[in-house]
Structure 1
Amino acid sequence: MASLSLGLSLSRKKNALRNAAVERKNLLTVCRLSVKTLIDRSCFETIDDSAPEFVNFASILEQILSHRLKGQVTWFGYESPRSFWDYIRVACSKVSHSCICSIENMENVSSSRAKGRAWIRVALMEKRLSEYITAALRDYKTTRRFYDDGAIVLGEEANMLAGMLLGLNAIDFSFCLKGEGLDGTHPAVIDYTPYLKFTQSSDSISSDEEELRTLGSSGSESSTPENIGPPFIMDENSWYNKCKKVEQKYRLALEQKGYLEELVRLREAQFTESVSQNKLLLQRIEDIELNHKLEKEQLEYIIVELQDQL
């Protein structure tokens, strides 16, 4: 029995580690695609709070920075939840000419989550979001203090995140820091639908070798050689172009597989929560029925006593 329980424990631990790795990979992949959609949208208009591409990107970045974030232990031993702004405020405090103090003193923004969302917008307008993230990740001691093991910002994927955000410096953003997007009461929800039907145009295929290396760094199945030799023939019917098209289709299929896995994980979490709520409701119903039965018996006993007195 002991060996069986030990085997089950090891199996559960391996599954948990695998699920955590899949979650990290999916969040980074969808973040990379959200940056691409933002860049494509910026070619036609200025990005503001009303753009669905930005709303989705802000939700993705918020979930990445909140991934396995530790709670704050109070004097009484209770653990209160934290926001990623608590980490950014400390880790980026030494960045020169930063916006940390101005956001901390904003009058219309009170909650920690709302301040974090305001920081994302200000950093994008300043074209310094990648700089802030890089400076925060360099402070490994502070990062280690705020995050648990397995967090995205503690792994090798953190450097990929800073590189992805560097492309946003070419976009002109315009945000209102008094809008509904700063409401700290609503959680960050990612809409995966646009990325499930995402198709990359031939004009936007830039640095394909770098993207394939980035995607293949987390698994051997998607790896690609670092150096691809120059094509001998550069017409449309060359083997080089055909190979590139096959690689692009394979990469898109692999990314969509990751999105579907993430959707399944979210649905499983929702199902588990629904089951637990159902159990609580059933327990409450049983308690109410038991109380009702006891009250009925007490009333019957009182009626019998009154009849005896009469």
Structure 2
Amino acid sequence: MASLSLSRKKNATRNAAVERKNLITVCRFSVKTLIDRSCFETIDDSAPEFLNFASILEQILSHRLKGQLTWFGYESPRSFWDYIRVACSKVSHSCICSIENMENVSSSRAKGRAWIRVALMEKRLSEYITAALRDYKTTRRFYDDGAIVLGEEANMLAGMLLGLNAIDFSFCLKGEGLDGNYPAVIDYTPYLKFTQSSDSISSDEEELRTLGSSGSESSTPENIGPPFTMDENSWYNKCKRVEQKYRLALEQKGYLEELVRLREVQLSDSVTQNKLLLQRIKDTELNHKLEKEQLEYIIVELQDQLKTFHRLGHLSADASLSQISFDPGHSLDGNGKYDSSRLCGGKEDTPSLIGLCGSLTSVASYKSLTSLKSSECLASPTTEMTSPGLTPS
């Protein structure tokens, strides 16, 4: 088990080294094609050589770039612009702030692509890359081990980009090339194709035919002419040329197989990331649904409490009105004021009236009635009969 893990680690290290070497080699080829193309016409967004170079540079700056940890513990993808924005912030008279404040560029990847174009037009792309690589602490914080910007290839990259300062670029920062929705795709076709003349093809076929038929010519009975003799050096040279061509074809085949393997690894990583994103979307939808249900429940409770509060308010208002209307000591006079003198000389309280007042008012109201009954304002029938100036009927 330990040997298996060790072999996997060695294979991963070897694959990372091959990937770094291939990207740097292809970048060197793309810079050369850009310089050759600039001798005949101006380089703009429509030039396929520039589009390929921009994709290669984006792949190099995104090689083994760390993700950004979120509050939920997930690692969200990050663009190389986040690294360039921090590492090149101290460059004098830089375009970082201008690109950060662009209105038509919103995504981080689009800002990184705009930075590549502006830096090329300013003829300062190599300067930006050199300044970013010098900030080793920031570079180490943004990239994992085995990244191109952390290896020896980074110095080669800055030197290669220095030759682009001789080219006059002209870009439109509002074109489709700044769209950050599609990934950077490298076209390896211009660097893999080779031309071969018909004369060399015929000579190769003749050499192979000669090598294949050399062993059977001596045993052929129809061969009645003089034997076909060649010296040993010529045979050795022919075999050497064939072997070199075979090795070249074998190396190209291995390179293409390595590219296919890398694409398969990238595809599997993309599928894994897609599954993680789908799971994250499901978890987010579930959390939103639970939060919505909780908020709806809280709203219903608040509405019930509000209704109860209004109902209690109406009941207290009705109770206060009933106390005022049935309180004998708060009768109104002609001017709308309470007059307690009218109660003097009124009729005697009967048990039915007291019971009615007790049923409509509170116990305190009933107590007020009984207290008024014994006060001086309420006169009993006996006092009315014995008052001076009145005679019984």
How high is the TM-score relative to the length of structure 2? 0.54
TM-fit CA distance, 1:265: 2.4
Deviation per CA, 1:169-228: give whole Å up to 9, x if none.
000000000000000001000010111026899999999999999999999999999999
Deviation of 1:270 (Å): 6.2
Structure 1 position 77, deviation (Å): 2.1
Return the alpha-carbon distance in structure 1 between the equivalents of residues 261 and 3 of structure 2: 30
Inter-partner Cα distance in structure 2 for 1:259 and 1:77: 38
Note if contact 2:114-2:178 (Cα within 8 Å) is conserved in structure 1.
yes
The Cα shift of 1:76 comes to 3.0
Alignment pair present for 1:201 and 2:197: yes
Higher relative contact order (CA 8 A, sep 6+): 1
Select between 262-271 and 221-230 the one with higher mean Cα deviation. 221-230
Query: Is the Cα–Cα contact under 8 Å of residues 31 and 160 in structure 2 kept in the other structure?
Result: yes
Q: Give, in whole Å, the separation in 1 of the partners of 2:38 and 2:227.
A: 32
Are the aligned partners of 1:124 and 1:173 in contact in 2 as well (CA < 8 Å)?
yes
**Segment of structure 1 superposing worse, 55-64 or 202-211:** 202-211
Deviation at 1:139, TM superposition (A): 0.3
1:73·1:80 contact (CA, 8 Å) conserved in 2? yes
- Check 1:90–1:2 CA distance in 2 against 1; reply closer, same or farther (3 A cut): closer
User: SS where residue 230 of structure 1 aligns?
Assistant: coil
Q: What displacement does 1:57 show? A: 0.3
**Which range moves more in the overlay, 61-70 or 247-256?**
247-256
Q: How far is the alpha carbon of 1:50 from its aligned partner?
A: 0.2
- Quick check: 1:109–1:115 contact (8 Å CA) kept in 2? yes
- Distance apart, 1:46 and its partner CA: 0.2
Secondary structure of 2:202 counterpart: coil
1:148-184, Cα deviation, whole Å (9 max, x unpaired)? 0000000010000000000000000000000000000
Contact 1:34–1:53, Cα closer than 8 Å, also in 2: yes
Stretch of structure 1 that moved more, 45-54 or 71-80: 71-80
Deviation at 1:280, TM superposition (A): 13
Do the aligned partners of residues 195 and 285 (structure 1) sit closer, same or farther apart at CA in structure 2, a change above 3 Å counting? same
Contact 1:24 1:152 in 2 (8 A): yes
Mapped partners of 2:210, 2:164: distance in 1: 18
Report Cα offsets for 1:13-40 as digits up to 9, x if no partner. Answer: 0000000000000000000000000000
Q: 1:89 to 1:204 in 2, by over 3 A?
A: farther
* Inter-CA distance 145–132: structure 2 relative to 1 (3 Å threshold): same
1:3 partnered with 2:3: yes
RMSD, aligned α-carbons: 12.0
Range with bigger deviation, 69-78 or 155-164: 69-78
Counterparts of 2:104 and 2:64, CA distance in 1: 28
Distance in 1 separating the partners of 2:103 and 2:62:
24
> In the TM superposition, what is the alpha-carbon distance from 1:266 to its structure 2 partner?
3.2
Residues 118, 182 of structure 1: 8 Å contact kept: yes
Where 1:207 maps in the other structure, the secondary structure is helix
Cα distance in 1 for residues equivalent to 2:219 and 2:68: 40
**In 1, Cα distance between equivalents of 2:8 and 2:155:** 29
Within 5 A, what are the aligned runs for 1:1-310? Answer: 10-197=6-193, 259-269=255-265, 272=268
Deviation larger for 71-80 or 206-215 = 206-215
Q: Which has the larger radius of gyration?
A: 2
Indicate the SS of the match to 1:237: helix
- The 1:266/1:301 distance shift into structure 2, 3 A limit, reads same
- Asked if structure 2 preserves the Cα contact closer than 8 Å seen for 1:26 and 1:259, the reply is no
TM-score between both structures, scaled by the size of structure 1: 0.68
Greater displacement, 193-202 / 114-123:
193-202
Shift of 1:260: 2.3
CA apart distance, 1:73: 1.2
- Report which stretch shifted further, 183-192 or 198-207: 198-207
Report the CA distance shift for 1:163/1:188 in structure 2 as closer, same or farther (over 3 A): same
* Paired positions, count: 304
Q: Is the 8 A contact 1:216 1:224 kept in 2?
A: no
**Superimposed CA distance per residue, residues 123-152 of structure 1 (whole angstroms, 9 cap, x where no aligned partner):** 000000000000000000000000000000
8 Å CA contact 1:234–1:240 kept in 2: the answer is: no
Identity of aligned residues (%): 95
Shift in alpha-carbon separation, 1:71–1:249, aligned structure 2, 3 A: same
State the distance in 1 between where 2:214 and 2:158 align: 17
Secondary structure, in 3 states, of the residue corresponding to 1:141? Answer: helix
Q: What's the offset of the Cα at 1:252?
A: 8.9
Whole-Å separation in 2 of the counterparts to 1:3 and 1:266:
24
Change (3 A) 1:143 1:290: closer
